[in-house]
Amino acid sequence: MGQGKASKDGDRKVGRRALLIGGTAAAAGTALLARDELARLWWRTPGVEKPRKEGEVDYAGARWVAASEANWRRADRPDDYGIDMVVVHVTQGSFDSAVKAFQDPGHRAAAHYIVGQDGHVAQMIRELDVAYHAGNRDYNERSVGIEHEGFVDRPQDFTDEMYEASARLTARICARYDIPVDREHIVGHVEVPGTDHTDPGRHWEWDKYLRLIRRARTGPA
């Protein structure tokens, strides 16, 4: 719904912006705009999709594994929807079972990232796109969802390796979109309005997690 309309609007915007850039360059009397500068202007134009490369990840520490397209919606964040939240989830199953579920078009849900108990990270949906992870349209549109391998009632599943890997990932997300590192902006699935999910559960150590994120954020990049 609205997909065709959006791209039509987008096309019109490209036209206007192309004219504008052309005009600016002409006014300067010369094509002084460097190629990368032009590319950046184009990139920042609302309604124009950012260039995408197959298999590209937003976080250097992640391995790309594509989710089924049924489990997310193509978008152009943060230009069409601002990103100001990270939602923390727990998989209630193994890393591999979560990957499988997100690849299943019938699952109708998936998060951007999965962090394993050994600290490895898979990205399954681009941050540009809206992942169906929070069960709430507004929260989906404004957040990045991170799954953690384990069960909410098994505190031993939440390993130091997992906390640290997830904190490094969240620190980068917060830096990228200028998201404050606090409990207003880094929330559990359980805190999303309307949800009946309980993850990450009472064993998730929020103080420790936020401390690790702050440390990763101020540490060397």
Which spans of this chain sit near Zn ion (rule: CB under 5 A)? 89, 189, 197, 199
If the CB atoms of residues 50 and 154 are measured against Zn ion, the closer one turns out to be 154
Placement of tokens 């929260």 in the chain: 139
Close Cβ partners of 201 (under 8 Å, ≥ 6 residues apart): 90, 152, 153, 190
Which residue type occupies 64? Answer: W
Report, in Å, the least distance between residue 151 CB and Zn ion: 12
Report, in Å, the least distance between residue 69 CB and Zn ion: 20
Report, in Å, the least distance between residue 12 CB and Zn ion: 38
Residue 88's CB is within 10 A of a number of other CB atoms, namely 23
Longest Cα–Cα distance of the chain, Å, equals 67
Torsion sign (Cα): 9, 10, 15, 17: positive
If the CB atoms of residues 45 and 166 are measured against Zn ion, the closer one turns out to be 166
Report, in Å, the least distance between residue 152 CB and Zn ion: 9
Which residue type occupies 39? Answer: A
If the CB atoms of residues 75 and 87 are measured against Zn ion, the closer one turns out to be 87
If the CB atoms of residues 48 and 101 are measured against Zn ion, the closer one turns out to be 101
